[in-house]
Amino acid sequence: MDLPSGPSYIFSSDAAFDKLYSMRAQQLSSMHWTPLDIAMKAAEHLAGGPGRHILDIGSGVGKFCITAAHYFPDHFFYGVEQRKALVDEAVIAQNATKTTNVEFIHGNFTALDMNRFDHFYFYNSFSENIVHEKPIDNLLQTSPEIYEEYLSRFYELLDDKPAGTRLATYHCPDDYVPAGYKRLRQLAGGTLGFWVKQ
Ligand SMILES: C[S@@+](CC[C@H](N)C(=O)[O-])C[C@H]1O[C@@H](n2cnc3c(N)ncnc32)[C@H](O)[C@@H]1O
């Protein structure tokens, strides 16, 4: 039986999982980090076969990646995150959960070689450039121009991927996704979308 700090406790609820994080990150959770049940469902769609490499574009404190990696230990999950402080929180949570099939990368997703990754998770990461309610911090420059630039880079990267590429979107308008992707399902009141490239 797990002690209250063991995996079955940590993954039992968002409140339990969020205790892995700083008070500030816990306060941001309901607005900015993927809930556990959504992460599990998204991972189920993205886990297209053992050994696949799945990238969370804008991984925050790593909640999607760590949850997905916990439930799909034969897949590898990556998170790219532009804020170093959030990557540091993600690594602390990774170590606390003894998760080995995850890697967090500090940087802008635009600098990554997308050939390394098979499938993608996206929780509307660029909206902080146009929506200013409860910001993560005020340390980065945001603007509608940056939003447009990131969106077009996101669109291009998805467009360049081969048939069979899977995508899970959360709180993300449909027109962010290239027409070559077919939506297979919508869950969580339409907020969670499962896509595959034709
Ligand atoms: C809505 S949060 C989602 C976090 C995580 N994917 C989750 O679901 O728990 C979006 C994150 O994307 C990050 N982000 C935004 N633009 C980015 C970029 N261009 N490159 C890397 N990270 C970015 C933000 O710093 C923020 O942590």
Q: Can you give the CATH number for the domain in which 165 is found? A: 3.40.50.150
Instruction: Residue 44: give the domain boundaries.
Output: 7-197
Domain-located, residue 1: no
18-66 residue pLDDT tens: 999 999 999 999 999 999 999 999 999 999 888 899 999 999 999 999 9
pTM, entire model: 0.96
Domain-located, residue 25: yes
Residue to mutate, 34, 46, 81, ligand 1, most ligand atoms under 8 Å from C-beta: 81
Domain-located, residue 161: yes
Calculate helix-pair angle for 84-96, 63-71, nearest 10 degrees. Answer: 30
Q: How many domains does the chain have?
A: 1
Say if strands 53-57 and 119-122 run parallel, antiparallel, or are unpaired. parallel
Query: Which tokens in the block code for residue 145?
Result: 């121009």
CA of 39, closest atom in ligand 1: 8
Q: What is the DSSP letter of 160?
A: H
Of all protein residues, the one whose alpha carbon is nearest to atom 12 of ligand 1 is 58
Of all protein residues, the one whose alpha carbon is nearest to atom 18 of ligand 1 is 108
